[in-house]
């Protein structure tokens, strides 16, 4: 190691204040005698000696430490086209644009609901195609039920935020949504092979529970508890 000139605390502070543009790390000799690279703000000007090159300039590292990743070119023109199309799709995606514009805005939830609706429609098409070819459709039904549940949860959060936290479960819109969810749940049970008599028993019990005053009061209480 070449002899290093003596450095005062002021010398080190001056060097750190005048590092080359883009410097990420600077080489120092720490109190244990070990040469290490540190971020400029981590250098202890009282204990660390800044290492200098033969021309008197500090030894620095620009960019992130480690080997610079290689930019791999697409193997074929077809892959290049797909890569470009993927990039264009991501850039133009409505959900991404809304999140980029205002991550906390109402437009993000609206875009999420729309994306879920499109996904549910796509799954329904795949299910119908599978049924047309005599294939098992239970996996599609279960997947669509999960998407619809997520969509309903998102919709309820949206309505909750607009109504101050409490959803009016007596509105026609809520009843229509809830009925649709029950139909989807029943359809999923049928597709997964649950026996008809079992389905009827389950739904009979479920309807009795939902019609009771106790369930409605408990639902309202739980919503209020969540916003307090």
- The answer to whether residue 95 sits within a structural domain is no
Do residues 151 and 45 share a domain? Answer: no
Do residues 110 and 220 share a domain? Answer: yes
Dist CA 178 CA 201 (whole Å) = 19
Do residues 167 and 58 share a domain? Answer: no
Using a cut of 0.75, tell me whether the model's pTM lies above it: no
DSSP H or E run through 94: helix 94-101
CA dihedral in degrees (38, 43, 47, 48; nearest 10)? 40
- The answer to whether residue 69 sits within a structural domain is no
Q: Which of 41-45, 51-55, 81-85, 211-215 has the lowest mean pLDDT?
A: 211-215
Do residues 117 and 215 share a domain? Answer: yes
- The answer to whether residue 182 sits within a structural domain is yes
- The answer to whether residue 88 sits within a structural domain is no
Maximum C-alpha span of the chain: 91
Structural domains of the chain, count: 2
- The answer to whether residue 46 sits within a structural domain is yes
The neighbour count for residue 120, using CB atoms within 10 Å, is 19
Do residues 109 and 217 share a domain? Answer: yes
Do residues 111 and 222 share a domain? Answer: yes
Domain membership of residue 120 as a residue range: 105-196+205-227
pLDDT tens track for 71-91: 556 566 777 777 777 777 777
| Res. 106: pLDDT tops 80 | no
Do residues 54 and 158 share a domain? Answer: no
Q: Which of 5-14, 72-81, 135-144 has the lowest mean pLDDT?
A: 72-81
């Amino acid at each position: 190691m070449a002899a290093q000139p003596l450095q005062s605390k002021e010398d080190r502070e001056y060097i750190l204040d005048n590092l080359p543009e883009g410097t990420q790390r600077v080489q120092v000799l720490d109190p244990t005698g070990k040469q290490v690279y540190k971020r400029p703000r981590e250098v202890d000007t009282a204990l660390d000696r800044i290492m200098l090159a033969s021309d008197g300039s500090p030894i620095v590292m620009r960019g992130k430490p480690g080997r610079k990743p290689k930019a791999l070119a697409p193997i074929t023109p077809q892959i290049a086209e797909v890569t470009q199309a993927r990039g264009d799709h991501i850039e133009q995606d409505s959900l991404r644009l809304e999140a980029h514009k205002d991550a906390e805005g109402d437009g993000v939830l609206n875009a999420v609901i729309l994306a879920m609706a499109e996904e549910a429609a796509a799954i329904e098409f795949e299910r119908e195609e599978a049924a047309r070819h005599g294939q098992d459709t239970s996996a599609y039904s279960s997947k669509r039920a999960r998407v619809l549940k997520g969509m309903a949860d998102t919709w309820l959060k949206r309505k909750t935020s607009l109504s101050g936290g409490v959803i009016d479960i007596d509105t026609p819109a809520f009843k229509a949504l809830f009925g649709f969810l029950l139909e989807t749940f029943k359809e999923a049970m049928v597709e997964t092979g649950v026996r008809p008599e079992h389905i009827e028993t389950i739904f009979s019990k479920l309807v009795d529970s939902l019609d009771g005053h106790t369930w409605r009061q408990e639902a309202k209480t739980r919503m209020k508890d969540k916003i307090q």
